Structure 1
Amino acid sequence: MKPLPTFGTERLLVRPRAMVDFKACLTMDRDPEVTRYILGPWNDPQKHEAFLKERIETSFGDGLGYWSIFLKQQSDQFLGWILLIPCDGVGPGIEIGWRLNRSAWGKGYATEAASPIVEHAFRTLGADRIVADIEAENIPSTRVAEKIGMRFIEDSEHEGTHFKRYAMTKDDVRTA
């Protein structure tokens, strides 16, 4: 298994997530505003820690996984993470997702961090399509999806929660 690549953007360092990021990820997830629209074990500390540890240590396949996002000028300032993993952790499709600390919201960091990940998905991995399932009321996340070139394709429901599915194909990258 090849290690995940590291990416640099104008303002950001996007590097493979590792156990050294555990505490920062846990702290971010403990902000109820950050996890407001995301299903997960956020209110059970033991389950939350086990879930996070498993997600950091799991190999999702060549070129797939999680990346931590940092400011280039302050490489110790954890902003959040971005993922490119098999849908629901098992596939066969590929999903993209992001989560940022509240202090990093509204600054374009999610869109900026997603750009090299999208390029990686289509150009390096040869993916035909990537999707993002976003809780219907999470307007900021739907805006990120649209800014990176994704389009709304359908509504869905999971565990009683309404989601909007966004998708992007390799052809969309050329026109985005």
Structure 2
Amino acid sequence: MARPQEFNTQQVLRKAMAVFWEKGYEATSLADLMAATALSKSSLYGSFGDKRDLFLAAFDIYRQDRKRDMIHLLSAEPAREGIVSFYKSLFANLDSATSHNGCMSVNQAVEMAPRDLRVKAMVVEDFQTIHEVLCLAIKRGQADGSVANLSEAEDIASILVLAFPGLQLMARIGAGAEAMTNNLNVLMAHLD
């Protein structure tokens, strides 16, 4: 008879996510994961499969959280405020201990996506989702008058999506709040 699971799966995945997010997939060892989750090797493998399977499940938790947060921020009225709030959230915690982690999806676009088709598909989906949700916010902004630029919403969203990883990387390498605010102001001028 199998022994009943004695841990909360979501909590374990969030702890694993934190390690993968901080160190990256390649630099994360089984010992790191065991220390973070307080689970044995057999419990980790028995419950989640191998390291890659655990990573994929943890990465998916990250993606769900970020999608929920993004949709919440971009639903603000007027729409321009939501767009600005979303982009400000990318560097809102410059002084926090995790600010150097950047966006896990951007990180994985570089680390794993070039050689792992599943991770690549997840990252592509993330960027498509960002584009779609921004497009809807821009259209709302054009309708409510908070976005004065009447170019195609898809084109404006494409510019904003292209800037997304750049802002993430600038924050990750330690650009200060003033520089980030200036970059954001230049980017948001595309809404005018």
TM-score normalized by the length of structure 1: 0.32
- Structure having the higher helix fraction is 2
TM-score normalized by the length of structure 2: 0.30
The structure number with the bigger radius of gyration is 2
Higher relative contact order (CA 8 A, sep 6+): 2
- Structure having the higher strand fraction is 1
